[in-house]
Structure 1
Amino acid sequence: MSYEVRGTLHNTREEALSALVGAYVYPDIAPDRDEALEALDTPGDTADELIADWGGDLGPGETPATAIEIADHIRGYRYAILKAVGCPLFQYREDSGHTEDLEATDLASAIDEARELLRDGDWPTGGKTTYVSAAVIDPYGGAHGVEVAIHPEEPECTESEHDWQSPHDLLGGLEENPGVWGKGGGVVVTEVCRHCGAYRITDTWDQSQGPEPVETIQYREADDASTAWVRANQAPSVLRSLIEDKGHDRVLSALRDFEDDPDAWIDEDDMDIKVEGEWLRGERFADLVDRLDDDLRWPY
């Protein structure tokens, strides 16, 4: 069995119908996008016009195509028709009504392209992760939801980048899991930057954006507690630099004078200071290192 359309033989009725529609909707010489779009918008009218202009002849001895059969074929081959005339196959659509044609020729690529458009958008975060969504409209009118998380920008750091830490003495919680607190089916994790003292809070069970929990990130400025922790955290490296520059004996002599303790000691391995038999910690340690650093470097 063979089918003939415009002098060309086809093996199946489907191929013959495609050739019949193609000859009308996008002729070889000059594919017409407007004709194609109109055909897809009103397949019934297009089928009636095609029957009137071309007839439904599919070759000698074959049952002619009907307008209903042609209209159904147009609907079923929407993707192929759009592609043949170079029309956009997928569309990006936001809830606001904003739309853009996508360059992708398959659904997976269209979804990736839509995600990039969402990420490039100017979305207010309010200092916390915001989830934004859009839809990819396929050639058949089906909508495929796309969602991405827009995280707030990290605050500026005193160094080139943040170094997020979880010190138990500052953040609390369990010693083996500091800064972590249970919440619903998730946790809230707080970290602090060892350079600038800013906080990063990750909530894995945030329900502020709807009934379904999502993961969000937000930042909080340094406070007195984190600033003190940063100073104490940086003091050992300052002390080491001072000893390398001025010498251990000179720094130790100054320490003993400052504290009026002839037995004061500096542990060069751990960069700890002992005064009156007690190893110093925290802000007192940082203050003492600052005093040594300022005194021994002045007036140079």
Structure 2
Amino acid sequence: MVGSAIVRYLNAHGYQNIVARTSSELDLRNQEAVATFFADEKPDYVFLAAAKVGGILANNIYRAEFLYDNLIIEANIIHSAYQNGVKKLLFLGSSCIYPKMAPQPLKEDYLLSGFLEPTNEPYAIAKIAGIKLCEAYRSQYGANFVSAMPTNLYGPNDNYDLQGSHVLPALIRKFHEAKVNNQEFVEVWGTGSPFREFMHADDLAEACVYLMNNYDGEQFVNVGTGDEVTIKELAELVKETVGFEGELRWNTDKPDGTPRKLMDVSRLHDMGYKHRIGLREGLAATYQDFLKNEEVYVS
């Protein structure tokens, strides 16, 4: 989702010499393959958007994979970027790097100030390691490697697999299938009380290119909207967008996850960037994209 959004933005704004690989074309967990790719292509700028990602269920079940895959992907790319003289690299992390009970909104300074949310701790640790790798290569070798921490994302090419998806695409698929099958209700995990912030992938792509062009600092930068909704409000909005007329049922035996995750995006705003796409607008466009590509997304 994120990689394709960045490529769309670059293509739309006149960047032509773009080198990209799908996961089937290049296994980023393979150190030799990554080293060969960098040696052959010699990229000047790298957007490190690749990661193994998922929602609460996937994060909690595949803990070893989320830690191992993400650690080795970022280590291979960051090291090869250094070895091949990349001019600048942007590493993308996640808002889950912050402690579960950190003060809100989440400031960049809160990193490593408390315990992580247990359900996604392996993924968070891997992303923190990526931040520290960039800092270490900058400190030891003078590499211009920067990091950005996006909030929760959605948009075209999202993952709609109910076993591994995040909350927003999962809700889109659940409500759509309930509508098509004339179901009486849709079950949603938890209490609906946690607050979450959502950013369209196209806004993130614009922010990434903005940071690549304008930011060279050591401190990582939060990327988000600064707005939040409860999961209950989100579920109601998805229900309305999809046009499902049945009821919502909350399974309170399932985990809520972190109570609140609102990013402090004042540093990004002070640099001159602010998101453009509101949640209602972005959700409507994302549902239309889901309808157009349903066979691909749910196959």
TM class by smaller structure: under 0.3
TM-score relative to the length of structure 2 = 0.23
- Higher fraction of strand: 1
Which protein is bigger by CA-based radius of gyration?
A: 1
